[in-house]
């Protein structure tokens, strides 16, 4: 008798939804941490780097040692680790008042372990569940990440508006309770059989071509993650510091609409999408245009629109790379998903950190001071815009890579 995996899907969806808190909460509080604790933009960007580097480590561990993990036990414990990391954040003002940044780093490492496990396991679990439309299930899973961001933005904006930004820790404490629901769902749900082995090294020419194809897919998810996560992590700070938009307005009409576009594009592909490679090419192209527009245009409305439309353009770059792998490299196991997650997390850590470094260094440079004196822009605004221009490099390289991948897989099929 076939098992019913409805609860399993619900557990994966719930886990992915709550995981977005890990990605969304720290960037929403960047300005608050900067003002309350005097933490520089570079160090705040380093929190994002710590987040994704921790995830990257987990991804690589799974890539090489996935067969040693008990999947059932791991997915049950994973949301509880998220809760622990968020609890550490919430208690920073109580236990680390003079060493707040160290507390944030510790909390980030802890909940990033869970986020890494979630990236590695949720996608292959959903892919392993028998389905008439696996692409729809995968796209829906990743759309819930955007839904989580949207919910987080609305909730945090409204709550902090009432209790004040200085009381952010109470919101974090509440959010730490939510992942427990996912843990309970995983505990009472069956887990489908998955290929967790990674001990078969490709020897044949055909297998070697598949391995090279996997490397190219990893490259696509890397540049896609760069394009998506710079804006995800910096849109709130960019709108407040570069466009001088009120934080509440910027978060609701900026980051929230970005998340709406992100989720809507994934839902649209789940319902109507077919040609994933063309979708990736169009997404990279659109993202490059958006970053260049945000960096070069001084019109607040146009720059604002460029930021939020980036959400629509980058929506399918991460899940689309996974779909492309599934379509062109059949029979992949958990190790391949872990390798893809490693590529995505590396891009997600590198690009936002680079943005922070560019903002800090350009803002205090003689170049920025000269431009500021000759324009209506402050040095910090110039630094932010320079960061956007540098970030455009990632989707531009991504365009070239996707074209090469399209050509490669076409030859492989022939």
Residue 86: name the closest of 171, 186, 187, 183 by CA: 171
* Residue 173 three-state SS: helix
d(CA 15, CA 20): 9
- Coil vs helix vs strand at 315: coil
> What is the CATH class of 6-190+204-413?
mainly alpha
Burial (CB < 10 A; 0-12, 13-18, 19+), residue 121, is buried
Output the CA angle 80-56-358, nearest 5 degrees: 115
DSSP single-letter state for residue 189 = S
Question: CA-CA-CA-CA torsion for 82, 114, 348, 90, nearest 10 degrees?
Answer: 20
Q: What is the pLDDT along the chain (414 residues), one digit of tens a residue?
A: 346 788 999 999 999 888 887 777 887 787 788 888 888 877 887 887 788 788 888 888 887 777 788 889 999 999 999 999 999 999 998 888 788 999 999 999 999 899 888 888 888 898 888 887 777 888 888 888 888 888 887 888 889 889 998 899 999 999 999 999 999 999 999 988 876 655 444 445 556 667 788 899 999 999 999 999 999 888 878 888 888 888 677 777 777 888 889 989 999 998 887 789 999 999 999 999 999 999 999 899 999 999 999 999 999 999 999 999 988 887 777 888 888 988 998 898 789 889 988 998 999 899 889 888 888 888 989 999 999 999 999 999 999 999 999 999 888 776
DSSP state at residue 165 = G
Angstrom distance (rounded) from CA 251 to CA 236: 6
Question: Rounded to the nearest 5 degrees, what angle is found at the Cα of 23, between the Cα atoms of 18 and 29?
Answer: 110
Indicate the DSSP class of residue 3: P
Whole-model pTM over 0.85: no
């Amino acid at each position: 008798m076939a098992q019913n995996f409805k609860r399993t899907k619900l557990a994966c969806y719930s886990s992915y939804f709550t995981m977005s808190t890990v990605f969304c909460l720290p960037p929403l509080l960047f300005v608050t941490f900067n003002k309350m604790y005097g933490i520089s933009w570079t160090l705040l960007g380093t929190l994002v780097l710590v987040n994704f580097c921790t995830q990257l480590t987990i991804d690589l561990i799974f890539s090489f040692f996935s067969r040693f993990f008990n999947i059932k036990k791991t997915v049950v414990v994973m949301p509880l680790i998220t809760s622990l990391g968020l609890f550490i954040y919430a208690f920073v003002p109580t236990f680390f008042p003079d060493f707040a940044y160290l507390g944030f780093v510790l909390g980030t490492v802890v909940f990033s372990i869970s986020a890494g496990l979630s990236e590695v396991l949720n996608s292959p679990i959903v892919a392993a569940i028998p389905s008439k439309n696996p692409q729809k299930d995968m796209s829906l899973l990743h759309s819930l990440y955007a839904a989580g961001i949207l919910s987080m933005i609305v909730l945090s904006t409204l709550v902090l508006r009432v209790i004040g930004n200085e009381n952010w820790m109470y919101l974090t404490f509440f959010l730490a309770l939510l992942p427990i629901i996912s843990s309970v769902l995983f505990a009472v749900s069956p887990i489908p059989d998955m290929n967790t082995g990674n001990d078969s090294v490709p020897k044949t020419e055909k297998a070697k071509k598949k391995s090279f194809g996997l490397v190219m897919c990893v490259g696509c998810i890397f540049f896609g993650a760069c394009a998506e996560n710079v804006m995800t992590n910096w849109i709130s700070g960019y709108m407040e510091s570069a466009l001088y938009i009120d934080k509440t307005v910027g978060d609701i009409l900026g980051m929230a609409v970005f998340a709406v576009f992100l989720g809507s594009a994934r839902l649209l592909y789940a319902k109507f999408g077919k040609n994933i490679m063309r979708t990736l090419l169009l997404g990279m192209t659109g993202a490059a245009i958006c970053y260049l527009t945000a960096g070069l245009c001084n019109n607040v409305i146009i720059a604002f629109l460029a930021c939020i439309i980036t959400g629509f353009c980058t929506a399918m770059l991460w899940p689309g790379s996974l779909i492309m792998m599934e379509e062109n490299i059949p029979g992949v196991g958990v190790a391949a998903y872990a390798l893809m997650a490693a590529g995505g997390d590396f891009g997600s850590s590198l690009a936002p950190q680079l943005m922070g470094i560019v903002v800090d260094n350009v803002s205090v440079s003689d170049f920025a001071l000269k431009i500021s004196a000759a324009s209506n822009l402050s040095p910090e605004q110039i630094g932010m815009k320079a960061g956007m221009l540098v970030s455009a490099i990632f989707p531009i390289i991504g365009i070239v890579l996707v074209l090469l991948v399209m050509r490669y897989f076409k030859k492989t099929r022939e």
